[in-house]
Amino acid sequence: MAQVLVVEDNPVNQRISSLMLRKLGFAVDLANNGEEGVAMWAEGNYDAIIMDCQMPVLDGYSATARIREQELAQGQGSSHRLPIIALTAHAMSHDRQKCLDSGMDDYLTKPVEASELGATLNRWLKRNSA
């Protein structure tokens, strides 16, 4: 079972994401902000991260940048990096590009359908296992 870290500050969105992911067959851990997410990533063994963009303490863009910096410092090349997928209410094309520029691999908008979330995660997990 793939382990997914959801980094999201809103309790309702945490609950919805967790339920969707568990129904799709994923194990889920929750982080309440980007700083907590970076710390959990460093201590955990995750297959993917679902990252909100606007959070207190440390936003998703900065959290992603920190994870990418640490991956590089650990000698992990871009072909073996952890998939980080934005899940945000920001739906403009420049928002998508900002996510990708920060080091995120993909972009989904809220509210997301379970089928779209599952398909996106499965596509990235297959890429990483190939």
Question: Tokens 């799709």 sit at which residue?
Answer: 24
The DSSP output letter for 110 is S
Domain map (residue ranges) of the chain = 3-129
- Could you give the angle at which helices 60-73 and 93-101 cross, rounded to 10 degrees? 30
Render pLDDT for 42-55 as a digit per residue (tens, 0 to 9). Answer: 998 999 999 999 99
Spell out the alpha helix ranges (H) of the chain.
Answer: 11-23, 34-43, 60-73, 93-101, 114-129
The DSSP output letter for 4 is E
The fold adopted by the segment(s) 3-129 is Rossmann fold (3.40.50)
pTM, two decimal places: 0.94
Residue 8 exposure: Cα atoms within 13 Å on the Cβ side: 24
Render pLDDT for 13-41 as a digit per residue (tens, 0 to 9). Answer: 999 999 999 999 999 999 999 999 999 99
